[in-house]
Amino acid sequence: MVDNLFPLEVTDLTIKRRGKTLLGPVNHTFEGTGLTMVIGPNGAGKTTLLKALHGIERISSGDVTWSAADAIVRARQAYVFQTPTMLRRSVRDNLAYPLKLVGTPRAEIEAQCKAWAAHIGLTDALDRPAPRLSGGERQKLALARALIRRPEVLFLDEPCANLDGQATSEIEALLLNALQQGTRIIMTSHNVGQIKRLASDIVFLLYGQAHEVGDAERLDQPETPELAAFLKGDIIR
């Protein structure tokens, strides 16, 4: 089901703002399975790349080409921001919103909301205002809201930033379950442990360009000193 959107071809992708190049040129092919970690130091262009792939960043030159029509791609993907935006409504309403957009029957919406609330440990909070949740709870809710329509592609921008170990573990469990259900995940992270736990392949960005790419094995044997330095936590100048 996922494979009809892939491969995703990125060709000479360049994004400039006010005369400054934020990203590119980037050339890369994303295949149809697994979890790709887009990694690199601050300012390397990670979030910009994710937004460009998702279609919410204006491209200066180059192409992002899916193996399906744009309308199909838009309907089958989701994006979770680093700081998730909550509707100023209940947890139930936040979960229900994406289902209502596609005309899901009311009874099915209610069943899905209860099931996902249980899945993320928020059954007792279904009628609580979402903005009052803790940071970890909001991030789990945002992830559940993205996954409730079972997207074929999920983009995540630092989903565990500023979360404690327990919340991070719960988020990672949700992601592993989504992978098992066939969702293709492309995400950013600064957490080297998380990168090694989850990545099937990596795109290491440096100064806006894809400096090193490949399967997750290179996390143990980097080909470039820059990736080795990043993984050790060194500052890359």
How buried is residue 151: exposed, middle or buried, by Cβ count under 10 Å (0-12/13-18/19+)?
buried
CATH of the domain at 220: 3.40.50.300
Report which DSSP code applies to 15: E
Is 123 part of any domain?
no
Measured distance CA(43)–CA(62) in Å, rounded: 20
pLDDT band at 84 (very low <50, low <70, confident <90, very high): confident
Is 100 part of any domain?
no
> Quick check: 120 pLDDT over 80?
yes
> Quick check: 19 pLDDT over 50?
yes
Average pLDDT over residues 169-173: 94
Is 126 part of any domain?
no
3-state secondary structure of 155: strand
Condensed to tens digits (0 to 9), the pLDDT of residues 210-232 reads: 999 999 999 999 999 999 999 99
Is 99 part of any domain?
no
> Quick check: 195 pLDDT over 50?
yes
Is 30 part of any domain?
yes
Average pLDDT over residues 169-190: 96
> How many separate domains does the chain show?
1
Q: What is the average pLDDT score of the chain?
A: 95
Domain with 82, as residue range(s), is: 2-86+133-232
From residue 97, how far is each of 77, 88, 110, 162, 174 by CA, in Å? 16, 12, 11, 26, 20
Is 91 part of any domain?
no
194, 216 contact by CB (below 8 A): no
Average pLDDT over residues 6-33: 96
Average pLDDT over residues 162-187: 94
Is 25 part of any domain?
yes
**1-5, 81-85, 101-105: the lowest-pLDDT one:** 1-5
> Quick check: 125 pLDDT over 50?
yes
Is 166 part of any domain?
yes
pLDDT of residue 1: 45
